[in-house]
Amino acid sequence: MEEEDQRKVTDLVIELVRRLLSQQNPQNASPNSPHFSQSLRYALRILSSRLTPSVSPDADAVAESIKRRLATQGNSSDALTFADLYTKFASKNGPGSVNNKWAVLYLLKIISEDRKNAISGMDSSVFLPNLGLNDDEMGNDLRVLNAKENREKAWKNGVLLVSKDPENLREISFREFGNLVEEENEVTEEVLVRDVLYACQGIDGKYVKFDSNLDGYALSDSIKVPRATRTIVRKLCELGWLFRKVKGYISESMDRFPAEDVGTVGQAFCAALQDELSEYYKLLAVLEAQSTNPIPLVSENASSGNYLSLRRLSVWFAEPMLKMRLMAILVDKCKALRGGAMAGAIHLHAQHGDPLVHDFMRRLLRRVCSPLFEMVRSWVLEGELEDIFAEFFIVGQPVKAESLWREGYRLHAGMLPLFISQSIAQHILRTGKSINFLRVCCDDRGWADAATEAVAAAGVTTRRGGLGYGETDALQSLVMEAAKRIDKHLLDVIYKRYKFKEHCLAIKRYLLLGQGDFVQYLMDIVGPELSEPANTISSFKLAGLLESAIRSSNAQYDDPDILDRLRVKMMPHGTGDRGWDVFSLEYDARVPLDTVFTESVMTRYLRIFNFLWKLRRVEHALIGAWKTMKPNCLTSHVYTKLQHAVKLQLLSTLRRCQVLWDEMNHFVTNLQYYIMFEVLEVSWSNFSNEMEVAKDLDDLLAAHEKYLYSIVEKSLLGERSQTLYKSLFVLFDLILQFRSHADRFYEGIHELQARTAESSLSSQDKNKSRQTKDKSSEPGSWIREGRKALTQRASEFLQNMGQELDALATEYKSLLEGFLTELPVQQHVDLKFLLFRLDFTEFYTRQHATM
């Protein structure tokens, strides 16, 4: 029965197609005509369609839409007529009436819209022509609605039939559709899907192969497929091109390992990429299993079937494509990078708003940064620099023990990743340096307990892999706790075990001449020795004199270790140098103190010592001159023996000598006060305070450097005060020259007194007179020439000494005026206090103004 009904329906369709074609062209109505067969297949496809409309089944809404459409087109009368017809149509219920009224109205609406929206330029022979029906042949209920539409123009499109057709017609339509697809495609979609899956694994398929010219996978131009299919294949095969890039990088890097340009971070990066590719392989395995299922034709259950088409493959590949693109970008970025620089470059791509990308990059970075964080953990807690391939942002180099802290380790900015701040990196560097300094220079193992306490306080584990990317707070907590405890332990060792403060005080007392009794006694006993030519002085003898000065002063109560470090040093000397010019003291700063008292630091201490020693020598010379010049019975006795004119001349010369000594003593005393109190003591006080608040060895080094710099600058030894320094030393030489003149002057007076006394005793003791006569026969003797000649020679001597003193006074005045003139223009503010002390009565200022 069903077969007979199907045959009747098919005969009716054939007859309908034949009539439609005969009205257009009788030749096309022949059953043997290709156009007739194509039109018949098209009609069957339309009639067997099972597509459902995308609107809700509401008859009133469809009717209202039709009425509104007629009204907007200016057919108000037709709209009223349609409303009247719909009222009658909707009121009919019961046997013989239409049950699915909204479907009928929707069909009529679609037919009308299809005629209005026919695609321009399309070959009308592909579609069925409109059957020219009269108004009487149409149903009474639809006559008014479609009369105007039939008169306008013929249909150019098929009809979307919303009704159920017999199952056999659907199958026929599907078979016909399959035949059309086979005619348009030389290769089936199943084969293309398998080839795409091969290409996504970097393998050439039967039809999809890698084209080196295009640098990608593509279908051959000779294969007949629709353009849309070719486009989607090319887009899907982009995943294969990306896979080749990533896989090639992994293979190349692993082949070169353990080359230095790969390193452990590069190896970790390759391992992370390989893990992602493993997940990608699992997906491809699932997709390959699905690709074996045939692709069904269009049907109701096709969307839920377990098969794989190109469009479904594009959906499956959406997430892998995104990840593979990211990996390819990272591969290109990291080709020339390694270590921390590679981790920093990958970190830049993790700053993304997409949660999928962010999670993927975070997972990748945790693997990549694992070797880097392990280096940080090992360096901070153990002081071990496990960096075989030079990937860490801390670089070490072999140096001597005294240079370990300053030159042994440094930061490599190019290897510092962006997720580790510069401040944290400095703390990491210093913590590891402190451990190595304690281990190598201090021979101390107490840092291990401090590191254990730091781990406990930070709340992290000491096992490998305990730190990772994204745990910035944990890293910072561990580094800060370790730095605080290890630096504190280091300072305790320096202060208590190696007595750093005591050594600094010893340098101040002995090299900076702060131990007054020691310095005075040393200068007294070495003075005669140092007055000899430098090349005739024995350093062993000077060392013995140093020991004598120590035993004869309060220095003997110092720590023997400190006194053992104090030694005599003879600087290089040239022809004509005296012992005063080459004598100096040095302090032997051994490991680990030589980290602070380096060779360059001790050189600056030597410069300061030479300056202070010269100042003390000048002071000592003036004191010696005063001992000679002070009024005594010798000078008073000479006054009574000389003529009045010579006596006045002697008194004038003595006064000039005394005045010049007073001026020089005023200058030296105030300069020495400024150096010893306003420079050395103030700088030491500041240094002591900074030592108390120092938190690490770097702070201690900075405080000592500041202390030494302050002394050098305030003592006129800095680069900016070189002109003033030279003027000062010329003044010192002039004062020493005055001492020699004063000595000669008073030696002459002493000789004058002796010769006068001998002359008066010559008549009393013949024996003594004979001896005196022998002496008077010496050339240049004053007594030989008699008393008159003695008076004349005394006058000449005093005149010469007076002229020399006047010359010295004039030169001294000129040099001092130049020195005081240069003081105000110095940049250091403390030098203004020196000017104030030297000219507190403004004597020199007024004197300069009157000139």
Domain boundaries of the chain, sorted by first residue: 189-293+308-336, 347-497, 598-759+785-850
Segment 200-231, tens digit of pLDDT: 998 988 888 888 888 888 888 888 888 888 88
687-690-694-699 Cα dihedral, nearest 10 degrees: -60
Question: Whole-angstrom Cα distance, residue 591 to residue 267?
Answer: 41
Residue 244's H or E segment, with its range, is: helix 238-256
Q: What is the pLDDT of residues 267-319, one digit of tens each?
A: 999 999 999 999 999 999 999 888 888 776 554 444 445 678 889 999 999 99
DSSP 827: S
Which of the 8 DSSP states describes residue 49? -
Q: What is the pLDDT of residue 431?
A: 94
Distance, CA of 12 to chain centre: 86
Residue 209 dihedral angles phi and psi, to the nearest 5°: -135, 160
Virtual CA dihedral for 468, 471, 475, 476, nearest 10 degrees?
160
pLDDT category, 177, cuts 50, 70, 90? low
Mean pLDDT of 493-498: 94
How far are the Cα atoms of 172, 304, 731 from residue 608, in angstroms, in the given order?
A: 112, 94, 18
For 297-323, letters b (16+ CB in 10 Å) and e give eeeeeeeeeebbbbebbeebbeebbeb
- 534: buried, middle or exposed (CB in 10 Å: 19+, 13-18, 0-12)? buried
Q: What is the pLDDT of residue 691?
A: 94
| Distances in whole angstroms, Cα of residue 2 to Cα of each of 5, 6, 8, 51, 168 | 5, 6, 10, 23, 10
Examine the pLDDT at 78 and tell me if it is beyond 60: yes
Alpha helices, H only, 317-446 = 318-334, 339-349, 355-368, 370-382, 404-407, 422-440
Distance from CA of residue 201 to its chain's centroid?
40
Q: If you average pLDDT over residues 164-178, what whole number do you get?
A: 57
User: At residue 819, what is the residue type?
Assistant: F
* Helix or strand holding residue 583 (H, E): strand 583-587
The pLDDT of residue 447 is above 80: yes
CA dist., res. 211 & res. 112, Å (int): 51
- Return the minimum-mean-pLDDT range out of 49-53, 568-572, 627-631: 49-53
φ/ψ region of 333 (left if φ > 0, alpha if ψ in -120 to 50, else beta) reads: alpha
As a whole number of angstroms, the distance between CA 717 and CA 365 comes to: 55
Which of 799, 603, 797 is CA-nearest to residue 708? Answer: 603
> Average pLDDT, whole number, for the chain?
80
Q: What is the pLDDT of residue 123?
A: 44
Write down the pLDDT at residue 611. 93
CATH class of 598-759+785-850: mainly alpha
Confidence (pLDDT) at 596: 93
Residue 255 pLDDT > 50:
yes
Average pLDDT over residues 389-418: 90
Q: Which of 146, 145, 121 is nearest to 133 (CA)?
A: 146
Q: And the tokens for 159?
A: 């009809």
Q: Where are the beta strands (DSSP E) in 679-786?
A: none
Task: Give 226's contacts (C-beta < 8 A, 6+ positions apart).
Answer: 184, 185
Structural tokens at position 171: 């199958």
Q: 610 or 109: which carries more pLDDT confidence?
A: 610
Highest mean pLDDT among 55-69, 74-88, 663-677: 663-677
List the single range of 165-174, 528-537, 761-770, 819-828 with lowest mean pLDDT.
761-770
Check residue 247 and give its pLDDT.
Answer: 93
Mean pLDDT of all residues in 546-562: 92
Beta strands in 688-829 (DSSP E): none
Burial class (CB in 10 A: 0-12, 13-18, 19+), 378: middle
Lowest mean pLDDT among 76-85, 154-163, 326-335, 588-597: 154-163
What average pLDDT score do residues 10-23 get? 81
pLDDT reported for residue 160: 38
Which residues, in sequence order, are CB contacts of 715 under 8 Å at separation 6+? 608, 611, 675, 679
**Residue 50: which pLDDT band, with cuts at 50, 70 and 90?**
low
Range from 60-69, 236-245, 548-557, 733-742 carrying the lowest mean pLDDT: 60-69
* Sign of the dihedral through C-alpha 520, 524, 526, 528: positive
Distance, CA of 64 to CA of 92 (rounded, Å): 18
Most confident of 157-161, 457-461, 514-518: 514-518
Q: Which of 663, 661, 638, 658 is nearest to 648 (CA)?
A: 638
Query: What's the pLDDT at 218?
Result: 85
Query: Which residue type, as a one-letter code, is found at position 832?
Result: K
Give helix 447-458 / helix 370-382 axis angle, nearest 10°: 130
pLDDT top residue among 407 and 1: 407
**Segment among 141-145, 527-531, 614-618, 843-847 with least mean pLDDT:** 141-145
Q: Are strands 216-219 and 208-211 parallel, antiparallel or unpaired?
A: antiparallel
Q: Where are the beta strands (DSSP E) in 415-523?
A: none
Task: Give the pLDDT band (50/70/90) at residue 646.
Answer: confident
- Which of 345-354, 425-434, 668-677 is predicted least confidently? 345-354
Highest mean pLDDT among 93-102, 477-486, 760-769: 477-486
Provide the percentage of residues in the chain whose pLDDT is more than 90.
Answer: 33
DSSP-based three-state secondary structure for 393: coil
**pLDDT score for 179:** 65
Residue 757: predicted pLDDT: 64
Cα separation, 533 vs 574, in Å, equals 10
> By percentage, how much of the chain surpasses pLDDT 70?
79
Mean predicted confidence (pLDDT) in 31-59: 70
- Two structure tokens written together for 843: 């004597």
Which residues, in sequence order, are CB contacts of 377 under 8 Å at separation 6+? 462, 464, 466, 467, 478
User: pLDDT value at position 162?
Assistant: 40
Which three-class secondary structure state does DSSP give residue 570? strand
C-beta separation of 319 from 276 below 8 A: no
What pLDDT was estimated at residue 164? 45
For position 11, what pLDDT does the model report? Answer: 81
Type of residue at 436: N
Q: Token pair 């486009």 is at which residue?
A: 231
73: confidence class by pLDDT, cuts 50, 70, 90: confident
Most confident of 109-113, 162-166, 499-503: 499-503
Per-residue pLDDT tens over the stretch 702-720: 999 999 999 998 888 888 8
Enumerate helices (H) and strands (E) in the chain, giving the number of each.
35, 6
